[in-house]
Every structure is written in C-alpha cells, then in structure tokens.
Amino acid sequence: MAGIVGYGAYVPKYRIKSETIAEVWGEDPDRIQKGLGIMEKAVPASDEDSATLSVEAARIAMKRAQVSPSEIGAVYVGSESHPYAVKPTATMVAQALGTIPNLTAADLEFACKAGTAGMQMCMGMVDSSMVKYGLAIGADTAQGRPGDALEYSAAAGAAAYLIGQDSESLAVIEDTFSYTTDTPDFWRRSKSDYPSHGGRFTGEPAYFKHVQGAFNGLMEKMDEKIENYDHFIFHQPNAKFPKAVAKKLGVSKEKIEPGMLVPTIGNTYSGNAPLALANVLDHAKPGERIFVTSFGSGAGSDAFSIQVTDKIEERRRDGYPLSHFIENKEYVTYAIYAKLRKKYKGM
C-alpha cells in the first residue's frame, strides 16, 4: 500500500479582498462575501507561476521526507495554468529539486483535480514497484475574466505530495475511487485567456453529482461509514458548495472546518483539495482518518481514504506549515492586482 512520505504547501504573499473587486464592478460586497463565502484570495507576484509555486511546495515536502532526490522516480505536476503550452512544468520542477535525470515526468491537466490525479498515478507506480517514490503536485495561478464571478475566487497556490511505501509514510492512503463523465460545466479553449463556464450548470450536474459519485463509491468500496472519519475535505470552488454537499451526505460542519481554506485564500484550482489536505495534516493526530474528495470540471472527482500514522509529528517539524504562508500577507489594490496579473495592455 502507498502513503504520503512528505508533503508541503505554499501560497503567495499578496491578497485582494472581495470587497476591493466588488467596488470596481459596482457589486454589493456583502452579497459576494455571503453568497460565495470568499473574503479574500491569494494573488501571485509577477515573477511567480505554477512552476515556481510547485517548487516552493515540493521543497517543503522534500525537507520533511528526508529522501534523496535521486530516489524519486516520477514527478507529475497538475495545473490548468502551466507556464508553457508546450514544455512540461514537471521538467523545471524536477531540475530545481535535483531529481534529474533518472525519472519520468509529465504535466497533467484536469481543471481543479489534476493534483489528485497525479497522486493516484504515483500510488499505482509505488504499489507496482515501478518507482520507489513519486512526487505529485497540484499548482495553479488561476485567472478569472475581469468582472466575472470567477474573478472573486480564482487564486494561486500549490501543494506537493511525495508518495512512497506505507511503512515509511506519515499518512497511509488506504484506498481511492474516481468518478468521471463528459460534462461541459467549465472549460477554456486553447487560445482564450480566460475560462468560460456553464453558470448554474456548474452545480447539480457537475460538482454535486461527481463529488457524491466518488464519495459514495469509495464508501461502498471500502464498506466504510462517516462516523469512522475525523475530517472531511470536499473541493471548495466557493464556501457554499462544500458545505451543501457535506449537509447532503450527512457530514457535520465541524468535520469540514479544518480544511476550509477558500474564505481566506480563494480557489487555488489544482491546489484546492491538496492544500486543504495539507492544512488538515498540519494539525492532525496519529490515528486520525481523513476523507478527501476533489473535483475537476469537465468533470470528475477523486476520493481518498487516508489514515495518519505516528510519523506525522516528527516529519512536520521541518519546513513551514501552510499557516505561515496564509498569515504572511499583504493586501493589494485592484490596480496593483491588475499589474501583477498582467491585465494591462502592452505588458
């Protein structure tokens, strides 16, 4: 069985408040904050992209795992904002970590769940002894069209998971289950700067159907029940959806609270569920069980059943916890935000 040998998460320093964005478009900030449940979101600096965020998160994961970079046989970076259209982010990341040259590497893309897809690939490779360790990263510097509802949520962040044998893991991944269909709820054509979405269509037939499909699928496969888990993480496109799906499934509010990051950092897309898991692992006790369900538009969900081992405490002593990056913040105006995100013509 495979597990998490090391993990790390990173969020850029800059934040923009929902009310700052609302002011520009003449929206009622209260309505946005209450409706989406997002107070502010993380904004990358002008010299940050998905590759640099990945390296930041992965360096923390490596520090915690205390594994030689040469033992990592696979690096997968999941993102919908890869810096190049053609040239893998995973090559820059592998080079910066020193895992080169004896490894396989590739970029993944599945809207907000490309990071968890990478975790599953690494689990399979570890279980089949193809590699000793595999590194799966979810990273994004997501952009919303100016004035669109997504502008309040599209944020930046990354989380990295070093997957290896369960015997040396800080958390064992007991099982995983996925649920995938062709659902056009959100997309971006290759030459568009910003994504398009199906409005109301993003809810019931997309998010709720797939999250519940993966959740129920894994529960049934493992013959498990909700009472046996201490924490639940559901993908957070906003604060409303994960709360609603938890209620539908009968998961209490308290059990989703530690992983709720979207109100303070926004939706980090491929980093979303992986960052939430990092925040839960930062505080988890040995023996606790975590149920994670990611979601990616297009659409699909990956569910994981995870149990924390007694190695967690010594491993997380090294490297910054996610709260270090969440608390170290600086607010920017809309004008500076537009500069950092290169929204001005001629930049």
Partner 1 sequence: MKESISLTWRRIPERYKMLGSHCTTCDAHYFPPRMVCPACRRKGKIEQFEFSGNGKIYSFTEIHAAPSGFENQVPYVMAIVELDEGTRCTGQIVDACCKDLKIGDPVEGTFRKILSDDPEGPIHYGFKFRLKK
> Which residues in this chain contact partner 1 in the complex, by CB under 8 A?
12-14, 45-49, 51-52, 55-56, 59, 83-84, 87, 92, 95-96, 98, 324, 328, 330, 339, 342, 347
Known catalytic membership, residue 112: yes
Q: Which of 40, 80, 174, 288 is catalytic?
A: 80
User: How many angstroms separate the CA atoms of 193 and 174, rounded?
Assistant: 39
User: How many angstroms separate the CA atoms of 4 and 308, rounded?
Assistant: 9
Please state the closest distance from residue 83 (CB atom) to partner 1, in A: 6
Strands annotated E in the chain: 2-10, 14-17, 40-43, 72-78, 104-108, 133-141, 156-165, 171-183, 186-187, 196-197, 231-234, 289-293, 298-308, 330-331
Chain length of the chain: 347
Known catalytic membership, residue 122: no
Please, which residue, 14 or 110, has the CB nearer to partner 1? Answer: 14
User: How many angstroms separate the CA atoms of 207 and 235, rounded?
Assistant: 9
Please, which residue, 26 or 346, has the CB nearer to partner 1? Answer: 346
User: How many angstroms separate the CA atoms of 248 and 243, rounded?
Assistant: 9
Please state the closest distance from residue 339 (CB atom) to partner 1, in A: 8
Please state the closest distance from residue 32 (CB atom) to partner 1, in A: 27
Please state the closest distance from residue 179 (CB atom) to partner 1, in A: 35
Contact 141, 53 (CB under 8 A): yes
Please, which residue, 132 or 329, has the CB nearer to partner 1? Answer: 329
CA 145-151-157 angle, 5° bins: 110
Q: Which of 56, 112, 151, 174 is catalytic?
A: 112
Tell me, what DSSP letter sits at residue 11? Answer: -
Please, which residue, 48 or 288, has the CB nearer to partner 1? Answer: 48
Catalytic residues: 80, 112, 235
